Amino acid sequence: MSARIAILDYGMGNLRSAEKALEHVGVTAKISGDPDEVQAADGVILPGVGAMPRAMERIRELGLAELIAERREAGVPILGICLGLQLLFESTTEFGGSDGLGLLGGPVEALEAEGLKVPHIGWAPVEWGRESRLTEGIPSGTPFYFVHSFAPRPSAEDLLGSAEYGSRFACAAQRDNVFGVQFHPEKSSSAGLRLLSNFAGICVSAPVAG
């Protein structure tokens, strides 16, 4: 059975590249902000590029915050990518600050990369801090592609992976059915495709409340 995954459209992000990568691994992907379509999906991807305060404005305007929370409570797997990862957290210091969705504990703060150019753009090895179905078959130290100026500070129990740019930063997190990665799997060659395929497998097998 192929997973049906909804890519949430709130007007910020290159949604087509994520859709194409999912289709490449055999996933039925649909870009949508329609509640009925999102509720019919086996999993939800929250993408995004840009600033978290503006993204949260758009998400609230479209009523998507409540929809994401409802899907989380139903047990539907959710994957945040890049800005989407940051949105899963409680708050950010970016542009004067903003609340996030609060599905993961902790703030999002500027990268501590003294002497280095920010944003951090390029490939960096990711070290896994624990096992997860999301990272099955992807060795610790595998490079992924990044474009970001901020990173979350999750609790130790939610931390899934980290990378280094000036200092070590969290770049992957997981709590129950909520996952997030700071890097772009859709731009990270075979390793990124494997991660998306793993997420699709999680979606197919997830017990979802009616």
Q: Would you mind telling me the total number of residues written for the chain in this entry? A: 210
186 counts as catalytic: yes
Q: In what order do the strands lie in the sheet with 78-81?
A: 28-32, 4-8, 43-46, 78-81, 178-181, 167-175, 159-165, 120-128, 142-148
24 counts as catalytic: no
Residue among 19, 82, 94, 203 flagged as catalytic? 82
82 counts as catalytic: yes
Phi, psi of 175 (to 5 degrees): -140, 115
Residue among 19, 171, 186, 203 flagged as catalytic? 186
| Nearest Cα to Cα of residue 126 among 27, 192, 37 | 192
Provide the token pair at 203: 């979606």
Burial of 69 (0-12, 13-18, 19+ CB in 10 A): middle
Q: How far apart are CA 177 and CA 76, in angstroms?
A: 7
Distances (CA, A) of 2 to 76, 81, 139, 183: 15, 21, 25, 25
Residue among 19, 171, 184, 203 flagged as catalytic? 184
CA 201, distance to chain mean position in Å, is: 16
Catalytic residues: 82, 184, 186
